[in-house]
């Protein structure tokens, strides 16, 4: 018999702990607008996971941080591969640690949509690069975003962001904003009332998403500033700043997948789709 539910009501790590405690063998199938993935248990132990191009521990950490979507546990479905050797306790602790690390990373990596570019000083800076740093450096073409580099490397945006953080600290690279021309043009066509509606909707969605993760005071201040800018005739700039700060807050609290989903929802809101 299948066991299913909503990730908004039943966080996946909690459900996994519950099912694992019974020593069951089976498969969690997870779906959301972020994509889909699978987590396999064997006699209560997590042994295999996939999520997009990711597999093993990275796939598990990716799925464990999703806050929306649906899951289905099908008992008896066995893994055809074993890509995870860590204990359930270590895996779940590491997943929680990843979220904590984002709170530090966002000080220099506020969005995985940002584009790494070389600094003027980078060409004359002499540093020893680790294999991970070299793998990121050689993929920087000053047009691809962090999340695109991660997909090419078949790793997580989290891992690339950690490496990027170090490269920024060493002065080799900096981050450039993605091309926002399309969003900017759509916002310019809106009336002040329409801009206020967008600002209010973004605030409501962000408040709901971050309700149990802190940051509500920051989100409130950002919203107030945005409405003030709109009233003063600087609505487009105010909204773009609100978008940026809210994305950063979601990234710090929930990780890149949730931040990406939130950005996509904002794009749909602005486009009216």
The string of pLDDT tens digits covering residues 104-131 is 999 999 999 899 999 987 666 667 889 9
Secondary structure of residue 87 in the 3-state scheme = coil
Q: Identify the pLDDT of residue 26.
A: 95
Name the H helices within 26-145.
57-64, 88-105, 131-137
Residue 272 has pLDDT above 80, yes or no: no
Mean pLDDT of the chain: 88
d(CA 171, CA 157): 21
Whether the CB-CB separation of 170 and 136 falls below 8 Å is answered with no
Q: Identify the pLDDT of residue 120.
A: 83
> Higher model confidence: residue 17 or residue 272?
17
pTM: predicted TM-score of the whole model, two decimal places:
0.74
Residue 36 has pLDDT above 70, yes or no: yes
Beta-bridge mates of residue 39 = 28, 49
Q: Identify the pLDDT of residue 28.
A: 96
Per the structure block, which two tokens stand in for 198? Answer: 């967008």
255 — pLDDT class (breaks 50, 70, 90): confident
150 Cβ contact list (under 8 Å, min separation 6): 112, 156, 157, 159, 160
Q: Identify the pLDDT of residue 226.
A: 93
Whether the CB-CB separation of 150 and 112 falls below 8 Å is answered with yes
Nearest partner of 63 among 95, 41, 27, judged by Cα: 95
38 — pLDDT class (breaks 50, 70, 90): very high
Beta-bridge mates of residue 46 = 41
Section 210-228 average pLDDT = 85
Percent of the chain with pLDDT over 70: 96
Sheet with 35-42, side-by-side order of all strands: 2-6, 70-75, 26-32, 35-42, 45-51, 54-55
1 — pLDDT class (breaks 50, 70, 90): low
Task: Write the pLDDT tens digit of every residue in 163-174.
Answer: 999 999 988 999
Taking the CA of residue 184 as centre, how many other CA atoms within 13 Å lie in the half-sphere pointing to its CB?
7
29 — pLDDT class (breaks 50, 70, 90): very high
Residue tagged 């702990």 (tokens): 17
Q: Identify the pLDDT of residue 128.
A: 81
271 — pLDDT class (breaks 50, 70, 90): confident
132 Cβ contact list (under 8 Å, min separation 6): 159, 163
> H or E stretch including 164?
helix 157-169
Q: Identify the pLDDT of residue 181.
A: 62
Selection from 6-10, 56-60, 205-209, 264-268 with the highest mean pLDDT: 56-60
Section 64-68 average pLDDT = 80
């Amino acid at each position: 018999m299948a066991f299913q539910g909503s990730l908004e009501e039943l966080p996946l790590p909690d459900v996994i702990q519950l099912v694992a405690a019974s020593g069951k063998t089976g498969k969690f199938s997870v779906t959301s607008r972020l994509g889909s993935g699978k987590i396999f248990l064997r006699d209560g132990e997590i042994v295999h996971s996939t999520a997009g191009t990711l597999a093993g521990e990275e796939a598990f950490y990716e799925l464990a941080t999703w806050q929306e979507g649906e899951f289905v546990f099908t008992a008896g479905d066995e893994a055809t591969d074993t890509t995870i050797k860590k204990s359930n306790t270590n895996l779940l602790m590491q997943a929680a640690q990843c979220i904590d690390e984002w709170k530090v990373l966002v000080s220099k990596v506020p969005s995985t949509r940002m584009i790494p570019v070389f600094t003027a000083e980078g060409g004359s800076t002499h540093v020893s690069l680790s294999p991970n740093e070299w793998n990121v450096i050689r993929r920087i073409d000053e047009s691809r975003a962090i999340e695109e580099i991660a997909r090419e490397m078949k790793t997580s945006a989290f891992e690339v962001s950690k490496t990027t953080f170090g490269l920024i600290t060493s002065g080799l690279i900096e981050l450039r904003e993605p091309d926002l021309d399309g969003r900017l043009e759509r916002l310019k066509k809106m009336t002040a009332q329409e801009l206020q509606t967008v600002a209010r909707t973004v605030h409501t969605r962000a408040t709901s998403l971050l309700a149990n993760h802190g940051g509500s005071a920051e989100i409130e201040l950002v919203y107030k500033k945005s409405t003030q800018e709109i009233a003063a005739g600087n609505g487009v700039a105010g909204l773009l700043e609100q978008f940026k700060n809210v994305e950063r807050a979601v990234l710090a609290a929930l990780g890149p997948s949730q931040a990406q989903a939130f950005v996509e929802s904002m794009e749909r809101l602005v486009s009216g789709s």
